[in-house]
Structure 1
């Protein structure tokens, strides 16, 4: 395992070169496990820096799109190999910068490797169809063509996997990229871009500009030469991006919030259900858009499920993600910690009963970190704020139900529709859940948090702009269809 011993200043990556922002300003990235530890310095960029990056991407796209899919795929394979060689280094950086445990960070980085290799293979798949022409002497077919320059705005909770699952399909289908990573995890993003540089990606094909979303993100979204925007983050920001992109006719893709339910039926395997609920709700400190948040439990098994759940929650070891014994790390930032704590106070004020946790965790060397205890509420009604709004932290709301139908009705009574799961042995209950739940990702006897790279991913209602990421579905966003008619 490598160890970071020197605080480094990380630059923007524009047209194949590492360059300072034009304003020569930097921001600090700190370790959420120890606010006194600086992970690195990152560029605080301006709209002019975005202009430089977009210009480079536009210029490079003309040649990049002319390469065959196999040739573009070769670059993705090389990037994957570089990322794999630097697995421990990048995972350690992610843990130090975002807070998730080292084992989770390694798993995410290897997922990035797998995504790159998956899309490298996509370069050899068909990119169109032959359509019968009414003229017997003509050939008519479609071909998929790139949009052009893609702006990628990625979040801090998956600083390797999400940028890669956006950039890899964009690149394999012939687009060039300008990425603005989250400020909180820009050092991790820089190391991913280093892997692309090491792989010899042509100048301008991938560009990175770091800085505030209100400055860099806004400049990217409003830039006339950015043909498509793919964003993962909050609903408020996503709606602003969608409106700005729509106003100038750019294509946009938004993956936003979730308030994901799990239903525990009377016939559920309770040990399996408890394991999935804890993993879905508390892994990555609950900082996943697919994290379990609302737990609908049948009254017949409620008490036993709660007893088993609390027993396991009490075993969770909170601590620095680089420590082998830590199961749950800190919140990613002080702002996120304060957000979680404020929602816990709202839950108590509304009359929900706090049965575990609910406070900042400061013991065992965690005094300087942004730690919060895993938290469980009961006596929650579906109209409460903690049952309706995304908390993005380790907070579970237990809600009693008498029937599966009641659980489904309450689970759907919300603006979000990202993921949902049910634990049951009843085939009929499974089928009702699959048909009736308003969610883009439906899982049976498995936690709500779990996305397979080869499968389409996206939400219903306010969780998404209704496009899908990952798998072969990604081609729908990153390309346009060109219809060709050839007369002999």
Structure 2
């Protein structure tokens, strides 16, 4: 039976004023409808913002630990429902059960984390220059925030925006991506069951061109947090900043792993493959470039090809790698594979859609490895967002570092090396917001900042950890000479 979801506005579950709907389908079996959602309008988005604005003062005045108690209860509800949320995420987005379960658990952990952070919210006390003066700061919520979130981490990214926003006393209007909105809407179900006051958090489903734009441009919105494509992100940033709103954007990546001549090649291949082919390559932090020292290049290519060919593809409930999320994403990946071949890269493995009964009409593509890639090839410069790895040969560490930085993006980067000096230089000089040593480019801790350099981010505010709190608060300095 097809699930049916509604918008959540001012504490009520409601259909769109258009009475129109759209459907999500299973990327492993596109003929199967998973759920139905309101195809909302500007009026629906405006209602969500207006509800948030009306609720803002009372929520800001609510003691922070009391706000934390609601987040904690919501986390408990999500934990109790982990199995069904995992299934929903797999059916809408295509992740394997292991990947989907890990993402749901991350959302649970994020809500617990920010629930505890509410106990420490406040400001700081400073020493005044004169007598009989108390000098201190207080942190206040920014106000009404709009959240626009993507499909590739459909519960984790909404959670890491929503939880700190609510913890710090802001009210929220959110639009999840149309492709896989179910688990994001379920976050609001959990908050509703946990006792969140009406209007504090609102979610509206529908197209970015109407709902998303209205949430970004509404005059009552004080801050905007967006994760998605670079093209849309730049438009969001320009529109929000023109209106004087606080804004953060997290966009794409073209993430390298540098493989040193001192590296254990088998270990390096495992690390690169995990970063390149995990979650079907549909992560902004996925490794799409392996930059390999010439002395170990041939050995590495053989090893990473073996890793790719060992991956079993199929529906997420029992295989290693699931489908791409939509037909258009699959077509985009296949287009880039054709472009790479036209540019002169050597296709080592993969490059097409797998054959077999279990694949049906699903949006599957084989894990793909290209060698003989030059760093000016499009396959080495543009985000593919699929399980495609470009292997680039370099003469030495200096060449590798220069190649790693020679892109417009700067989100995540890693190095595999046994040379500590190389590792230290890599951390110091790589142009990326996340730098890893002997680890895959994907995978983030929730209590440390996350964000990119260059075209990967607005470079304004980081997400997660204390940085997540910083974006949603503004400092007031108090001179008390009473």
TM-based fold match above 0.5: yes
Q: 1:311-369: CA deviations, max 9, x gaps?
A: 121111000002x2x10000011111111111111111111111111112242321211
How many pairs align?
A: 481
Secondary structure of the equivalent of 1:244? Answer: helix
Q: Which runs of 5+ in 1 are unaligned?
A: 1-5
Partner residue in 1 for 2:478: 484
Secondary structure of the equivalent of 2:392? Answer: strand
Separation of aligned partners in 1, 2:101 and 2:466: 25
Separation of aligned partners in 2, 1:64 and 1:271: 53
Partner residue in 2 for 1:131: 126
Q: CA deviation at 1:214?
A: 0.6
Aligned with residue 83 of structure 1, among 78, 86, 89 = 78
Partner residue in 1 for 2:333: 340
Aligned: 1:288 with 2:289 = no
Partner residue in 2 for 1:69: 64
Partner residue in 2 for 1:443: 436
Q: 1:38-66: CA deviations, max 9, x gaps?
A: 00111110110011111111111111111
Separation of aligned partners in 1, 2:398 and 2:213: 44
Aligned: 1:157 with 2:152 = yes
2:121 and 2:168 in contact (8 A); partners too: no
Separation of aligned partners in 2, 1:153 and 1:378: 37
1:362 and 1:371 in contact (8 A); partners too: no
Q: 1:208-253: CA deviations, max 9, x gaps?
A: 0000001110001100011110011110010000000011100100
Aligned: 1:22 with 2:6 = no
Q: Which runs of 5+ in 2 are unaligned?
A: none
Aligned: 1:367 with 2:364 = no
Aligned counterparts, 1:383-462, within 5 A: 383-462=376-455
Separation of aligned partners in 1, 2:234 and 2:427: 28
Aligned: 1:472 with 2:466 = yes
Separation of aligned partners in 2, 1:275 and 1:47: 47
Secondary structure of the equivalent of 1:124? Answer: helix
Secondary structure of the equivalent of 1:185? Answer: coil
Q: RMSD across aligned C-alpha pairs, in angstroms?
A: 0.9
Partner residue in 2 for 1:244: 239
Secondary structure of the equivalent of 1:38? Answer: strand
Aligned counterparts, 1:6-405, within 5 A: 6-322=1-317, 324=318, 326-405=319-398
Q: CA deviation at 1:275?
A: 1.1
Separation of aligned partners in 2, 1:117 and 1:192: 13
TM-score, with length taken from structure 2: 0.99
Separation of aligned partners in 1, 2:62 and 2:130: 32
Separation of aligned partners in 1, 2:425 and 2:301: 25
Q: CA deviation at 1:306?
A: 1.3
Residue 315 to residue 364, structure 1, CA distance change in 2 (3 Å): farther
1:9 and 1:42 in contact (8 A); partners too: yes
Q: CA deviation at 1:126?
A: 4.0
Higher mean C-alpha deviation, range 129-138 or range 267-276: 129-138
Separation of aligned partners in 2, 1:187 and 1:435: 41
Q: 1:171-229: CA deviations, max 9, x gaps?
A: 00000111100001112222222111111111111100000001110001100011110
TM-score, with length taken from structure 1: 0.97
1:232 and 1:256 in contact (8 A); partners too: yes
1:64 and 1:175 in contact (8 A); partners too: yes
Secondary structure of the equivalent of 1:376? Answer: strand
Separation of aligned partners in 2, 1:417 and 1:364: 40
Secondary structure of the equivalent of 2:37? Answer: strand
Q: 1:66-103: CA deviations, max 9, x gaps?
A: 11111110011000000000001001000000000011
Separation of aligned partners in 2, 1:475 and 1:41: 34
Structure 1 stretches of 4+ with a deviation exceeding 4 A read none
Separation of aligned partners in 2, 1:198 and 1:33: 32
